Amino acid sequence: MDAITDLSSRRVSGGADAKSTATSSAIFGPEQRGGIVRRYFLVFATLVGGSLILSLLVELGFRYIETRKDLETVHHQMAELAALRIQNYVDGIAQELRMAAAPPQLTDHRLTDEYAFNLRNLIKDEPAIRDVVAIGLDGREQLRESRIAPSVPNAGIDHSSELSFSAARAGKTYFGPVNFPPDSLEPRIIISVPIEAFPGDVVGVLAAEVNVRYAWDVVKGIHIGESGYAYVVSSAGILVAHPDLQLVLQHKDLSDLPQVAALRVPGSGESGTGFYKNLSGQHVLVAYQRIPNIGWTVLVERPLLEAYAPALISLGRTGGIMLIACILAVVAAVRLGRRVVSPIEALREGAGRLEAGDLDARLHLNTGDEFEELADDFNRMAARLQEAHAGLERKVAERTQALEHSLNEVRALGDTIQAVSASLDLQKVLRTIVVHATELSGSDAGLIYEFEENAQIFRFRAGHLLRPEFISTLEAVPPTLRNSIIGRAAVAAEPQNISNLSDAGPHTILAFNTLLLAEGYRSVLAIPTTRNADLIGGIILVRRGVGGYSAGEVDLLRTFANGCSIAIEHARLFLEVGQKNTALQLASQHKSQFLASMSHELRTPMNAILGFTDLISEGVYGALDERLRKPVEQLQINGQHLLRLINDVLDLAKIEAGRLDLNLGEYNVDEILEALQATATPLAQAKNLTLHVSSDSKIGDCYGDSKRIFQVLLNIIGNAIKFTKHGGVEIAVAALDTEVHYTIRDSGVGIPAENLMSIFEEFGRGDPTIAKEFAGTGLGLAIAKQFVTMHGGRIWAESKLNVGSTFHVVVPQRVVAPGVSRQ
Amino acid sequence: MSVRILHVEDNSANRMIVRDLLEFEGFEVIEVMDGEEALPATERERPDLILMDIQLPRISGLEASRRIKSREDLRRIPIIAVTSFALSGDDQKAAAVGCDAYIAKPYRPRELLQLIKKLLPSDQR
């Protein structure tokens, strides 16, 4: 089980390797150099640098949170302390006021001199109090003690509407807002307390103007770090105390400062911290603490940079260490990468050289590890490749040579075949064959012989590279089947291959061979050429050197011999065909001439026969005996028929001989129709048939051979009358574009459909039985068709048996170029 | 004096037909059998009309006609060319040597008679 798993996993990993090899060739392009180094670097940097940076960030985060908490705590404690001190101070003064306001001397609801003395002591004891005023319930000043002015109560002033009075009169201690009197630069507040005769019995109000410069003293004493400071603002946002006294004296309104504005937002707590910008725009950490009674707030601010400076320095140190660690990791990664990559690079470079065709490429790696083994494998592979390549090149060279040779053979054969098929000139073909056969086989000369069956000798037909004198000798002494090597080859029906004529052997007795030997030839190859077992001749090839011909050469030359026999047979056939063709042409010509002269020779006796018959019937030789009238009439009728036949044959012969031309001229259709009517009416009347001719006035002047058109139409009408027993014949004509369309309709016996085409052929009459009944030459329609065709027209027929036939003749109204009767 | 017609024709049957026809019609017929005899016969007989066959042994009818028509004193005698070789052009050839008319064999005797009468001076018809 384990083995199987192992195997499969190895296979998988092998596949992955193959894949990575395949892709690496694509990745390791020239611009991708050092890819592995980069990859190693990335891995190391990610592992080492990443963890370092992560710990740094975590450290930073924790350090920041801790530092901030510490800082906030410290700052807040500072603010709280300051607030407490200020509150204690103000509360202390308020306490002193209360003590002074409710002395045991206060009796009878009147403020005595002793009370005034008390107040004077108060001022004396408490330097922060500037003035103190005792106010009666009516709001009028009753006593006034001042540190700087005469202590005379200003009875004219009514304090009853003041908040300090009303609050204190209600039994509370009142802390007034900060104000800056015009004669002093120090902030003051009014603190008022009730004057009670005994607890709960308010008899007046004691109000003191208190210098709160003490708050400055407190604030001034607060130092946080190097540049941290504290300050106090009133509930209205006016600066009450600040280390920079100047700012306080300016009654700076800080209500726009974000950290001060935040205090006035309802719901903001008694104390808190935050990050803001101070008056000079620095980022600061702010902690505040309210002083509840007097509505002031102590704020402690410290520049962030300074506040976090220790943390930053510590972080910097840590970061530095980590950076060094990172650099070390990178260097290690690069070095390791290089160590792995450089052998791979070498391998890749070697493979590249192999690919580029440098099969001498070898690798020299001395790493002593798997890379060195790989390089050795590579070198072995390159060596094998080099061997295979060399073998391949040799093979390619061989094959190229063979191919070239074959190509030459094919080209030569192609030329030969072309010559055989394209040329009827036998001499030229044989010459082509002997030239190619000689040159392709590297022979010194070649000869072609044709066998003459009658004389039983070989006749020299073509040669190549032969001396003219030698040719004369060869022509003078034609070889026979017995005395020549070609004769031997023919008898044996096998090529005869002699490697050396000078060697003694059966061939030495051959007279022909001695001729060849005398001419200096040693090797001879003779191939007989046969066609369908008939000996046609042979090819002889000779070389001056000894050694004969190889089997391949014999095979090749056999092909030439074959071509040779085909050529000779072709030539013979062509000769035969040519002779036959000439004979045929001559025969055709003879036929036409024969027909023409025959018809001429027939006409002369016909003239005599018809002439005498006419003279007899006209009574030139005396009154005709009644008994002779019928025979003489028959003589006339049959004589006329014979004459028509002769005329028709003559016409056809003339058409065939191309000696009948159309006699073209202007004519009128109506004239033809009138002539037809005049000629055909007696014929129709003789058979009791109607003849109806209708014309078309739209047909204008025509151009053609009117005599021949008349002949054609009369022929058809004559037939129509001939083949009709009842009814009649209708002749109509109509204009058809540029053509004239004649229609001849009869109510005759009709023509079977299968004969409709053949009636226009010579002697192609519809039905032999009918032909017997109706006399006719059988040439009329054939001649009609010829004339119509010569006019460039058409003729056809439609018919229904025992109903009638309709013949159509269409001729151009104006003949352009008269056609030839027959092609 | 009857009208005299010279008939040049080698075929005896045809000569006989023409003679029988013309004599029946009241003409006098003189006959010679080839072209060579035609000119001497014309000179000797001075016929009113010559019926000349074209196909003749020795000298053709055309040649004989040409010779007669080239003679000033004989030129006026009308010649009718007779041919049985009805290939196109015979009529033109006859006209070219000066023949006055042309008739193709086989002809109806009546046709020939009409043609002859047409060519004779009106007082001789």
The percent helix, strand, coil of chain A (3-state, each to 5) is 55, 20, 25
0.80 exceeded by the pTM?
no
Q: Closest partner residue to A620 among B20, B106, B108, by Cβ?
A: B20
pLDDT digits (tens, 9 = 90+) for A252-310: 788 888 888 888 777 777 788 888 888 888 888 888 888 887 888 888 888 888 888 87
**Residue A76: what pLDDT?**
86
Query: A807 or A569: which carries more pLDDT confidence?
Result: A807
pLDDT digits (tens, 9 = 90+) for B5-14: 999 998 888 8
DSSP of A695-739: --TT---EEE-HHHHHHHHHHHHHHHHHT-SSSEEEEEEEEETTE
Query: A655 or A386: which carries more pLDDT confidence?
Result: A386
Mean pLDDT of A378-402: 84
Structure tokens belonging to residue A506: 């059966």
- Chain A residues in contact with B17 by the CB 8 A cut-off are 607-608, 611-612, 615
- Confidence band for A19, pLDDT divided at 50, 70 and 90: very low
Q: What are phi and psi of B79, to 5 degrees?
A: -115, 130
Give the gap in angstroms from C-alpha B1 to the nearest C-alpha of chain A: 22
The answer to whether position B50 is within a domain reads yes
**Residue A485: what pLDDT?**
87
Give the residue from chain A lying closest to B25, CA to CA: A620
Domain range for B81 is: 4-119
A515 touches chain B (CB under 8 A): no
- Whether residues A659 and B88 touch (CB distance < 8 A) is answered with yes
Give the residue from chain A lying closest to B105, CA to CA: A607
- Chain B residues in contact with A621 by the CB 8 A cut-off are 20
Give the gap in angstroms from C-alpha B73 to the nearest C-alpha of chain A: 33
**Residue A623: what pLDDT?**
84
- Whether residues B13 and A608 touch (CB distance < 8 A) is answered with yes
B8 CB-contact burial (10 Å; exposed 0-12 / middle 13-18 / buried 19+)? buried
Give a three-class secondary structure readout of A623-672: CCCHHHHHHHHHHHHHHHHHHHHHHHHHHHHHHHCCCCCCCCEEECHHHH
**Residue A647: what pLDDT?**
77
- Whether residues B17 and A611 touch (CB distance < 8 A) is answered with yes
Q: Are A457 and A479 in contact, with CB atoms under 8 Å apart?
A: yes
pLDDT over threshold 80, residue A568: no
Q: How many domains does chain B fold into?
A: 1
A754 touches chain B (CB under 8 A): no
**Residue A596: what pLDDT?**
66
Closest to A236 (Cα-Cα) out of A301, A295, A300: A295
- Confidence band for A22, pLDDT divided at 50, 70 and 90: very low
- Whether residues B106 and A612 touch (CB distance < 8 A) is answered with no
Residue spans of the domains in chain A: they are 35-340, 423-573, 583-660, 661-812
Q: Same CATH fold, A423-573 and A35-340?
A: yes
Closest to A288 (Cα-Cα) out of A262, A256, A324: A262
**Residue A216: what pLDDT?**
80
Angle at A54 between CA A52 and CA A58, to 5 degrees: 115
Taking the CA atoms of chain A, what radius of gyration do you get in angstroms?
74
Give the residue from chain A lying closest to B18, CA to CA: A611
The answer to whether position B16 is within a domain reads yes
- Whether residues B110 and A614 touch (CB distance < 8 A) is answered with yes
Chain A, window 570-599: residues with a beta carbon less than 8 angstroms from a chain B beta carbon? 596
Share of chain A above pLDDT 90, in %: 7
Complex confidence, ipTM: 0.83
- Confidence band for A821, pLDDT divided at 50, 70 and 90: very low
Average pLDDT, chain A: 80
The answer to whether position B65 is within a domain reads yes
| Disruptive mutation site among B9, B11, B17, B83 for chain A (greatest number of A CBs within 10 Å) | B17
- Gap between the Cα atoms of A134 and A131, Å rounded: 10
Q: What is the dihedral of CA A47, A53, A57, A63, to 10 degrees?
A: 120
Chain A, window 646-705: residues with a beta carbon less than 8 angstroms from a chain B beta carbon? 647, 650, 654, 659-661, 663
- Whether residues B17 and A607 touch (CB distance < 8 A) is answered with yes
- Least confident interval from A146-150, A671-675, A727-731, A765-769: A765-769
Residue A137 DSSP SS3: coil
pLDDT digits (tens, 9 = 90+) for A25-70: 333 334 444 566 677 667 777 887 778 778 878 888 888 888 888 8
pLDDT over threshold 90, residue A808: yes
Mean pLDDT of A782-806: 89
Q: Are A254 and A260 in contact, with CB atoms under 8 Å apart?
A: yes
**Residue B47: what pLDDT?**
94
- Gap between the Cα atoms of A299 and A83, Å rounded: 9
- Whether residues A615 and B107 touch (CB distance < 8 A) is answered with no
Give the architecture-level CATH label for domain A661-812.
2-Layer Sandwich (3.30)
**Residue A729: what pLDDT?**
92
Give a three-class secondary structure readout of A226-273: CCEEEEEECCCCEEEECCCHHHHHCCCECCCCHHHHHHCCCCCCCEEE
The percent helix, strand, coil of chain B (3-state, each to 5) is 45, 20, 35
- Chain A residues in contact with B108 by the CB 8 A cut-off are 610, 614
* Nearby residues of A680 by Cβ (< 8 Å), 6 or more positions away: A691, A714, A717, A718, A721, A729
Query: A524 or A600: which carries more pLDDT confidence?
Result: A524
Greatest mean pLDDT among A2-6, A197-201, A322-326 lies in A322-326
**Residue B51: what pLDDT?**
94
B17 touches chain A (CB under 8 A): yes
pLDDT digits (tens, 9 = 90+) for A91-140: 888 888 888 777 665 555 556 667 777 788 888 888 888 888 888 888 88
The answer to whether position B60 is within a domain reads yes
Residue A462 DSSP SS3: strand
**Residue A18: what pLDDT?**
39
Give the residue from chain B lying closest to A617, CA to CA: B109
Share of chain A above pLDDT 70, in %: 88
Residue A789 DSSP SS3: helix
Structure tokens belonging to residue A182: 């015009």
Give the residue from chain B lying closest to A598, CA to CA: B85
Mean pLDDT of A191-201: 81
Peptide bond into A812 cis (omega under 30): no
- Confidence band for B40, pLDDT divided at 50, 70 and 90: very high
The answer to whether position B111 is within a domain reads yes
Give the gap in angstroms from C-alpha A460 to the nearest C-alpha of chain B: 54
Give the gap in angstroms from C-alpha A684 to the nearest C-alpha of chain B: 23
pLDDT over threshold 70, residue A682: yes
Give the residue from chain A lying closest to B22, CA to CA: A620
B13 touches chain A (CB under 8 A): yes
**Residue A563: what pLDDT?**
73
Query: B59 or B90: which carries more pLDDT confidence?
Result: B59
- Chain B residues in contact with A711 by the CB 8 A cut-off are none
Number of inter-chain CB pairs under 8 A, A vs B: 62
A603 CB-contact burial (10 Å; exposed 0-12 / middle 13-18 / buried 19+)? buried
Q: Indicate the class that CATH gives domain A583-660.
A: mainly alpha
- Gap between the Cα atoms of A13 and A473, Å rounded: 86
**Residue A817: what pLDDT?**
63
**Residue A428: what pLDDT?**
81
Q: What is the CATH classification number for the domain harbouring B106?
A: 3.40.50.2300
Give the gap in angstroms from C-alpha B105 to the nearest C-alpha of chain A: 6
Q: Closest partner residue to A607 among B20, B88, B105, by Cβ?
A: B105
Chain A, window 600-629: residues with a beta carbon less than 8 angstroms from a chain B beta carbon? 600, 603-608, 610-612, 614-615, 618, 620-621
pLDDT digits (tens, 9 = 90+) for A145-156: 887 777 677 767
Q: Indicate the class that CATH gives domain A35-340.
A: alpha beta
| Disruptive mutation site among A604, A635, A652 for chain B (greatest number of B CBs within 10 Å) | A604
Give the residue from chain B lying closest to A595, CA to CA: B85
Give the gap in angstroms from C-alpha B69 to the nearest C-alpha of chain A: 26
The answer to whether position B125 is within a domain reads no
- Chain B residues in contact with A623 by the CB 8 A cut-off are none
Q: Closest partner residue to A604 among B105, B108, B110, by Cβ?
A: B105
The answer to whether position B20 is within a domain reads yes
Greatest C-alpha distance within chain B: 39
The answer to whether position B13 is within a domain reads yes
- Chain A residues in contact with B57 by the CB 8 A cut-off are none
pLDDT over threshold 90, residue A743: yes
**Residue A764: what pLDDT?**
55
The fold of A423-573 is: Beta-Lactamase (3.30.450)
- Whether residues B87 and A596 touch (CB distance < 8 A) is answered with yes
- Gap between the Cα atoms of A209 and A96, Å rounded: 13
- Chain A residues in contact with B107 by the CB 8 A cut-off are 607, 611
